[in-house]
Amino acid sequence: MKKFREGVLVGNLAIYPDILRKFLKKSYYFLIYDADNEIAELKVNHRVGGETIFEIRNISYENAAKLALRLGLESKDDNTLIWHKWNPVCRLYDDGSQDAESLKILMFQRNIPCVIVESKELGWTAGDGVYKPVDWSVEEIREKIEELAERYQEALTTSP
C-alpha cells in the first residue's frame, strides 16, 4: 500500500506524481492553476499544440503546487500559477533508408524525444528548419543531433 505522504490528495482522488512522472514521455509539460475557479490543468505540447492530459477541479493552490513540483515541473517564483518542464522534441522524416534508421538509433541513444513521420525523403528538424540531405549531409544532421543532446543534456537526463 502506498504511503499517504507520497500522494497528492484531492477530494476522493489520490495522485502519486512520482509514479506518474516515470511513465510520461519526454515533452513540454505545463500545469496551469486557475485560482478563481480552483482548477489545475496538466497540459502537454509534443509539437502539435497544447493538449490537456487532465483537469482537476476544487483543488487548492497548495495541492496544485505540490503536484507540479512532484511531477518535476518548475516555476520562476514561489507564487506562480504556471509550472513547466521543457524537453526538445524533434521530428524525423523517415524514408525507410539505413540513414533514417541510424538517425533514429542516435536519438534513442541520446534520449531525445522524436516524432517519426513516414516520408518520401529523409529529413530532421528540432523546430528550427528542416535539415535534408540535399542541403545537409547525413553526417551534418548527425552532428546537429549531437549538438542538441549536448546543449540540453540536463533536461534530457531527467524524467519526464
What is the distance between the alpha carbons of residues 159 and 25, in angstroms, rounded to a whole number? 8
Please report the pLDDT score of residue 1 as a whole number: 47
What is the distance between the alpha carbons of residues 132 and 139, in angstroms, rounded to a whole number? 11
Comparing 13-17, 29-33, 73-77, the range with the smallest average pLDDT is: 13-17
Q: What is the DSSP letter of 25?
A: P
What is the distance between the alpha carbons of residues 71 and 159, in angstroms, rounded to a whole number? 9
Tens of pLDDT, residue by residue over 120-151, are 999 999 888 899 998 999 999 999 999 999 99
Does residue 57 share a domain with residue 32? yes
What is the distance between the alpha carbons of residues 56 and 156, in angstroms, rounded to a whole number? 28
Distances (CA, A) of 100 to 4, 67, 117, 143: 47, 39, 11, 14
- Domain range for residue 100? 90-156
Does residue 102 share a domain with residue 40? no
Domain total in the chain: 2
Q: Which pLDDT band, with edges at 50, 70 and 90, does 155 fall under? A: confident
Taking phi first (over 0 means left), then psi (-120 to 50 degrees means alpha), and beta for anything else, what does residue 129 get? left
| pLDDT reading at 2 higher than 60 | no
List the CATH number of the domain containing 136: 3.40.30
Q: What's the whole-model pTM score?
A: 0.74
Does residue 79 share a domain with residue 139? no
